[in-house]
Amino acid sequence: MIVQMVRRFVREEIVPLELSLDPDTDQLPPDESERLKDMVKDMGLYGLGIPPEYGGPELDMVTMTLIAMEMSQHRAGLYAPCYGVFGGAGLAQLFEANEAQKEAYLYPTLRGEKRGFFGLTEPSGGSDPARAIQTKAVRDGDDWVINGGKIFISGADRADYGLVFARTSADKGRGGVTCFIVDTNTPGFHVRRVVHTLRSAHYATELQFEDMRVPHGNVLGEVNKGFAIANDRLSRQRIPYSAGCIGVAIKANELAVEYAQVRETFGAPLASRQSIQWMLVDNEIDIQQARWATLEAANLSDLGEPFRKQAAMAKLIASEGASRVVDRCMQIHGGYGVTKDFPFERWYREMRIRRIGEGPSEVQRHIIARDILGSSLR
């Protein structure tokens, strides 16, 4: 029922609206955005992802995953599903914050009064953050002094605060990383530039910290235990990330099936050609594999069982499978497939990032191997 409501909303409200928008936009005109947010609130679905105790709807991970598969079924859907009119959960790590931090950052974020960013990746690497983090924080009285930089950070230029991970001990591994809540108006905090990528939505930025003083009270969790905060997000986030890929693949395939039946070549519809039929068959297989893998990970999460391996498999299967689906659909559409008149070129560009973001395919295989072999691979 909820999934059908979201499907209808995407098809009747979002897709028609996109016809008049710039094909690369990630924002709705303010009046349209407010109108659609009101509709979502009336549906009781605003703030998806916010735990019920903080005012969000009571939804399990399987339902959330099915909804995420619907929400991405439009041109901007991969990185701007429904243009954000369903609201966000903010930074989930703040649910673990102490009460003073929640008052200062979490509650204003849930009320839509503040925005945050997540600052983990550095120029020295993103797949192995425990070792790659070179940003340093040194204790000085009641403050920490942070120096270093981050890259590929979304939303930092518009944020009021961010979670910044920095090394706080000589320990080179996971044990020496701490998470700080940093106000973006702190002296020494700089957003140096936009990092232009294949992605049209939610551009990334490069940050620099120069003798940035952060109060000790802004340590999130415990000193030297920040990596667990980052790691928890990385595993859990892979499920909706996979669902977004699947939604785009479903929509792309739907368009390709329609087109193959009406487009004629040499006197017959494309759909009558075996080469095209096999592309559509392969699309269907890729989509089904990804759907079941992702729903299994979501189900394990709901049951409270370990799901790290399944989430890694879902992310691997969904991001690689959906990339193949979009590529085949583009091929079926021929020249039109690469124009900005159709959504495939945007999906094609943005889907390429999905095989790298939230841990590249190689890291997912590493995680799966580690689970199979029962030990940490070095």
Pick from 252, 282, 283, 257: which is nearest to 270 by CA? 257
Could you tell me which residues come within 8 angstroms of residue 246 by beta carbon, excluding any fewer than 6 positions away? Answer: 69, 72, 287, 290, 291, 294, 318, 322
Q: Which is nearer to other proteins, 35 or 193 (CB)?
A: 193
By three-state DSSP, how is residue 191 classified?
strand
Rounded to whole angstroms, how far apart are CA atoms 227 and 344?
A: 37
Q: Which is nearer to other proteins, 24 or 284 (CB)?
A: 24
The alpha carbon of 232 is separated from its chain's Cα centroid by a whole number of angstroms, namely: 14
Q: Which stretch binds other proteins (CB under 8 A): 10-18, 68-76, 191-199, 248-256?
A: 191-199
Q: Least distance in Å: CB of 352 to other proteins?
A: 14
Among residues 11, 17, 18, 24, the one that binds other proteins under rule CB under 8 A: 24
Site residues for other proteins, 297-356, by CB under 8 A, read 340
Does residue number 30 form part of the binding site for other proteins (CB under 8 A)? yes
Q: Which is nearer to other proteins, 139 or 340 (CB)?
A: 340
Among residues 5, 25, 95, 296, the one that binds other proteins under rule CB under 8 A: 25
Catalytic residue among 70, 122, 345, 358: 358
Residue pair 198/79 in contact by the 8 Å Cβ criterion: no
Q: Which stretch binds other proteins (CB under 8 A): 34-42, 192-200, 234-242, 352-360?
A: 192-200
Pick from 23, 125, 78: which is nearest to 352 by CA? 78
Active site residue 320: no
Among residues 189, 342, 344, 348, the one that binds other proteins under rule CB under 8 A: 189
Count the residues of the shown chain that bind other proteins, applying the rule CB under 8 A.
23
Rounded to whole angstroms, how far apart are CA atoms 209 and 285?
A: 47
What DSSP letter does each residue of 113-173 carry, written as one string?
S--EEEE--BTTBSSSHHHH---EEEEETTEEEEEEEEEEEETGGG-SEEEEEEE-SS--S
Rounded to whole angstroms, how far apart are CA atoms 86 and 88?
A: 7
Residue pair 163/117 in contact by the 8 Å Cβ criterion: yes
Q: Least distance in Å: CB of 88 to other proteins?
A: 15
Site string for other proteins, 139-178 (x = CB under 8 A): ----------------xxxx--------------------
Residues that bind other proteins (CB under 8 A): 22-27, 30, 155-158, 189-194, 196-197, 200, 203, 205, 340
Active-site amino acid positions: 358
